[in-house]
Amino acid sequence: MIQIICGPCSAESEEQVLATASALVDILAGSKDYRHIAFRAGLWKPRTRPGTFEGVGEAALPWLQRVQRETGLKVIVEVATAAHLEAVLKAGIDMVWVGARTTANPFAVQELADALKGVDIPVFVKNPLNPDLNLWLGAVERIEMAGIRDISVIHRGFSFYEKGRYRNEPKWQVPIDLMRRRPDLRILCDPSHITGKREYLPEVSQMAMDLGFDGLFIESHISPDSALSDPEQQIEPHSLGRMLEDLRIRSSIPEDEELSRRLQELRARIDSLDEDILEILELRMGVVDQIGAQKRRGNITILQQQRWEEILEKTRSGALSRGLDPGFVEELFKLIHIASIRRQV
């Protein structure tokens, strides 16, 4: 079953927290697909610049205790320091998460790991701001070494100077690589921080489900437009319920024998085509080596900008004529071009 952790970006008032939790319970509790539901809320907000709302801190802990008592939901909050963790544990909070900014700092993660020794509590680790898989795994390992047995990870996208469609670039290959290296870890997707806008939440959430993620970590506010932090990426509980109803939850293993046989046939074709691609790359790099030798003999620069522009233009038009994504093909040929230059050095 899919795990859903939802609630406001920030706990702003007791009324807001209880109203949001109550609405979420009413909407999600009866769903057959979402059995593991928990309530999230930020108490300490690591803001990029000062002067913005930075959370109410420990004052909100009694509000979350009311959520536990009155709704039966487990609650989870972000912790960034040992003092945060101490307050949360004292209040009986069920779970904690380590935010992206904290994950990026091994000193901060180690401080939390030291404070977690002897504690039995589920810990969720968000990816660091930059797409560094080893840094992400390192944070998990530090917490594991503290004796924590129940660890999950959260993919919330990566921050770059140049902004695209989303607030944070998903770079799906990074969590895919993490799943390959650590198949034992549960992985959730945070579409709120990836998209930055609630209208994009369904498409990113569906992508996570299609990739076999174990759940969603999503921001929901009873009145998102009036939220004190990140209003555009929070979704109203009833809208969240409709979105989740529309999600297609897929199985990783086909039950139909004929479907399974057909998939095996298609995968065999993919394997054969991949071998063809490797053979063509081998042949191409052989020609690159010959070109490099000729350039060295003639004392010619390795980079021929006009020739490179011609190749790019041909690949773009070739991609379009074949119904392929020109952006994808261009990125692929850029990688091939870089490898070709290195061979000619």
- The pLDDT assigned to 174 comes to 95
pLDDT at 252 over 80: no
DSSP per-residue codes, 141-204: HHHHHTT---EEEEE--B--SS--SSSSB--THHHHHHHHH-TTSEEEE-HHHHHSSGGGHHHH
Reported as a single tens digit per residue, the pLDDT across 192-209 is: 999 999 999 999 999 999
- Confidence at 32, pLDDT banded by 50, 70, 90: low
Distant-in-sequence, close-in-space partners of 230: CB < 8 Å, separation ≥ 6: 9, 192, 196, 219
Mean pLDDT of the chain: 92
Distance of CA 198 to CAs 4, 51, 204, 210, 313, Å? 17, 25, 10, 19, 36
3-state SS record for 135-154: HHHHHHHHHHHCCCCCEEEE
CA 338 vs CA 101, 203, 302: distances in Å = 32, 33, 11
Q: What is the pLDDT of residue 53?
A: 84
Q: What is the pTM of this model?
A: 0.81
Residue 162 structure tokens: 């140049």
Tens of pLDDT along 126-170? 999 999 999 999 999 999 999 999 999 999 999 988 888 899 999
Judged against a pLDDT cut of 80, whether residue 117 lies above it is answered with: yes
Q: What are the backbone angles phi and psi of residue 303, rounded to the nearest 5°?
A: -80, 120
pLDDT band for position 30 (50/70/90)? low
| pLDDT tens figures, 42-65 | 999 887 778 788 889 999 999 999
The predicted model gives 103-108 an average pLDDT of 97
pLDDT over 90 (residue 77): yes
Percent of the chain with pLDDT over 70: 97
At which residue do the structure tokens 């692929």 appear?
332
At 31, the pLDDT band (50, 70, 90 cuts) reads low
